[in-house]
Amino acid sequence: MWRFYTVIVIFWLCITPPLFTGGACTDEFEQESSRVNSDAKQLRTPKLAVEYWNGRNVRATLVSQDQCRASKPRFLERCGDGPLVYVGVPVKNTICRFYRDETIKVRLQYNDADRLVKITTDMDPSMSYPIPLSDHLIHWAR
């Protein structure tokens, strides 16, 4: 019988950490989004963007328009008019990294004159589950 309780305790310990993040995952995502948007002047060309990310010790991938047309990355619906720089900023919070997403994805789309046109930041969404027979929600890795 003690084995049964041990399994239940281990299972409970595995599923509870994401319930107590207190919005840390969403805060980390919003901070990175704000930082990228405020640093947009440093990202105005693909070359400057790669230097910016290298300065932050984050690996940046530069995809030219021709490379994109030859083998479009899965996360794109279509290739833009110019190059694309994309990075995966590592998530610092261990619980968020394990239960939600390992990286905050940043995509920088440029036009044919190498000018920044669009900044997109993305992270797997948190989940909320309603508690039956009540108006409360349980937030998972929020």
DSSP letter string, 30-42: HHHHHHHHHTGGG
Q: Decide if 33 is inside a domain.
A: no
What mean pLDDT, rounded, does the chain reach? Answer: 86
Residue 76: per-residue pLDDT: 85
CA atoms of 80 and 109, how far apart (whole Å): 7
Q: Decide if 83 is inside a domain.
A: yes
Do 60 and 53 form a contact (C-beta atoms < 8 A)?
yes
Q: Decide if 50 is inside a domain.
A: yes
Q: Decide if 115 is inside a domain.
A: yes
CA atoms of 52 and 35, how far apart (whole Å): 12
pLDDT at 136 over 80: no
Neighbour tally for 134: CB within 10 Å: 7
> Tokens 């805060």 — which residue?
27
How many domains does the structure of the chain reveal?
A: 1
pLDDT band at 128 (very low <50, low <70, confident <90, very high): low
> Tokens 């610092």 — which residue?
92
Tokens of 135: 């108006």
Average pLDDT over residues 24-33: 92
Domain that holds residue 75: 39-140
pLDDT at 126 over 70: no
